[in-house]
Amino acid sequence: MALPEVKQTATDARLAALSLPTGGCLEGARRAALSRVQTLGLPGRRDEYWKYTQPDTLTQVEAPKAAVFDTDEAPMFDDFDRLKVVFVDGVFSPEESDDLSLDGVSIERIADICDKDIHWAKDLYGVLEARGQSPVARPLAALNTAFAQDGLAIHVTGTPSKPINMIYRHSDEGSDAILHHVIRVDSGAEATILENGPAASRFNKCMEIDIADTGKLHLVRAQGRDHERRAATHLFARLGSESEFKSFTLTVNGVLTRNEAVIELTGDDAVAHIAGACAGDGDFHHDDTVFVTHDAVNCESRQVFKKVLRNGATGVFQGKILVKEGAQKTDGYQISQSLLLDDDSQFLAKPELEIYADDVACSHGSTSGAIDEDALFYLRSRGVPAAEATDLLTLAFLAEAVDEIEDEEIASAIVTRLEGWLARRR
């Protein structure tokens, strides 16, 4: 079917400005992804899936400029014993990164794989992304698969002693980064991945995660800081039997962020938790779009999203639980809540369920409102100043999402970050 003219023109213009990397074992996947982009067209204002978020600046040819924020704030996970992998404006920096060898995991650059004809990543790169294009199109992810300039292929074979921390530095105010990671977790293996940093003026990131039976992966990311930066990220995860995937995302600042998570529970007894906390102030638009598919028996999925918004910030949540026929004993849970600190901010939500199996329990809740006056009054009557009381209640509100992080040390780093945000903006 022909694309609408506006969409065709926008897609053609964007594609003309990019060049497809050639050669190596990923070329086939890249070509297939390019053809998906051509068929689907890039997202436009009239697409239902982009009802609440304007995709224009994510799809236009030039990345809008974004000032690099000179921060004195300590980088998130500096105190941690971790394996540091640094990308500057979307390009791997060997100088700033640690040695990539670590027991229980192999880490390679996508750029290096491209020279090889045979590699495990060939069976994953672009595969989950392609699966994730139905029933809803995600053309920005296909664009990423086709044109990604860099990224990592991480193969977790055991239990690495420390987390792998990808740090995305932003140094050029016009940078336009496309990054693609593939992660394979073997049966019985377990790892933690941390991500932080503003990355680039415009950041298109795609992560494909394949977790084999009984494998476990924890992902914690902290986006933001540079306020003018824009990001569209996709996370595709496929879970085998008795496997576990837990992700948490903190978003503070950023003029536009769209995070899509596409989770497929394909093995029985798998568990997926997707959580997010976001704090938006002023010209801030944050969109969490989650699609969880239950395609096996006795799986559990949890989505917990909390947003605090003020000074005209916009929070979006589009969440869906799809329970396929036969996916009996599914336990699906979804909650999205917003705390609007003033009248200019808004929360737009579409929490969906689509269920084709009868022996399941799925629930979703969504609430929006101001800070609880009674709680505020209680704190003030006990001598807590208004601003501090508001902060306290705001933190308490976000805590439910932060609680989804299992590692206490990581959780406390996230809380510190949130406290910093609240203190600075007061």
Partner 1 sequence: MAALDQTQVKEGVDQETVDAVAEVSTYKYGWETDIEMEYAPKGVNPDIVRLISEKNEEPEWMTEWRLSAFERWEKMDEPDWAMVSYPEIDFQDQYYYARPKSMEVKPKSLDEVDPKLLATYEKLGIPLKEQMILAGVEGAENAPAEGRKVAVDAVFDSVSVGTTFQKELEEAGVIFCSISEAIKNHPELVKKYLGSVVPVSDNFYATLNSAVFSDGSFVYVPPGVRCPMELSTYFRINAENTGQFERTLIIADKGSYVSYLEGCTAPQRDVAQLHAAVVEIIIEEDAEVKYSTVQNWFPGDENGKGGIYNFVTKRADCRGDRAKVMWTQVETGSAVTWKYPSCILRGEESQGEFYSIAIANNMQQADTGTKMVHLGKNTKSRIVSKGISAGKAQNTYRGLVSMHPKAKNSRNYTQCDSLLIGDKCGAHTVPYIEVKNNSSRVEHEATTSKVDDDQLFYCRQRGMDEEEAVALVVNGFCKDVLQALPMEFAMEAQQLVAISLEGSVG
Q: Which residues bind partner 1 (CB under 8 A)?
A: 48, 325-326, 328, 338, 340-343, 345-370
| Minimum CB distance to partner 1 smaller for 251 or for 330 | 330
Instruction: Please state the closest distance from residue 42 (CB atom) to partner 1, in A.
Output: 21
| Minimum CB distance to partner 1 smaller for 13 or for 370 | 370
User: At residue 87, what are phi and psi to the nearest 5 degrees?
Assistant: -120, 135
DSSP 172-220: -TT-EEEEEEEEEE-TT-EEEEEEES---SEEEEEEEEEE-TT-EEEEE
**What is d(CA 276, CA 223) in angstroms, rounded to the nearest whole number?**
11
Q: List CB contacts of 5: < 8 A, sequence separation 6 or more.
A: none
| Minimum CB distance to partner 1 smaller for 131 or for 350 | 350
| Minimum CB distance to partner 1 smaller for 365 or for 385 | 365
Instruction: Please state the closest distance from residue 324 (CB atom) to partner 1, in A.
Output: 10
Answer for the pair 361, 332: CB distance below 8 angstroms, yes or no: yes
Scanning the structure block, which residue is given the tokens 């976001």? 278
Instruction: Please state the closest distance from residue 403 (CB atom) to partner 1, in A.
Output: 20
The 10 Å Cβ neighbour count of residue 156 is 26
| Burial class for 374, CB neighbours closer than 10 Å (0-12, 13-18, 19+) | exposed
Between strands 244-252 and 230-239, the pairing is unpaired
Instruction: Please state the closest distance from residue 260 (CB atom) to partner 1, in A.
Output: 18
| Minimum CB distance to partner 1 smaller for 161 or for 363 | 363
| Tokens, residue 260 | 């899509």
Closest CA to 151 of 111, 120, 116, 95: 111
**What is d(CA 322, CA 191) in angstroms, rounded to the nearest whole number?**
27
| Minimum CB distance to partner 1 smaller for 349 or for 401 | 349
Instruction: Please state the closest distance from residue 355 (CB atom) to partner 1, in A.
Output: 5
Instruction: Please state the closest distance from residue 17 (CB atom) to partner 1, in A.
Output: 33
| Minimum CB distance to partner 1 smaller for 37 or for 340 | 340
Instruction: Please state the closest distance from residue 335 (CB atom) to partner 1, in A.
Output: 9
Instruction: Please state the closest distance from residue 320 (CB atom) to partner 1, in A.
Output: 9
| Minimum CB distance to partner 1 smaller for 74 or for 370 | 370
| Minimum CB distance to partner 1 smaller for 73 or for 342 | 342
CA 105 to chain CA centroid, Å, is 22
The 10 Å Cβ neighbour count of residue 219 is 22
Q: Three-class SS of residue 47?
A: coil
Q: List CB contacts of 22: < 8 A, sequence separation 6 or more.
A: none
**What is d(CA 149, CA 90) in angstroms, rounded to the nearest whole number?**
8
Answer for the pair 250, 276: CB distance below 8 angstroms, yes or no: yes
Instruction: Please state the closest distance from residue 35 (CB atom) to partner 1, in A.
Output: 25
User: At residue 5, what are phi and psi to the nearest 5 degrees?
Assistant: -55, -45
| Minimum CB distance to partner 1 smaller for 8 or for 328 | 328
Instruction: Please state the closest distance from residue 112 (CB atom) to partner 1, in A.
Output: 45
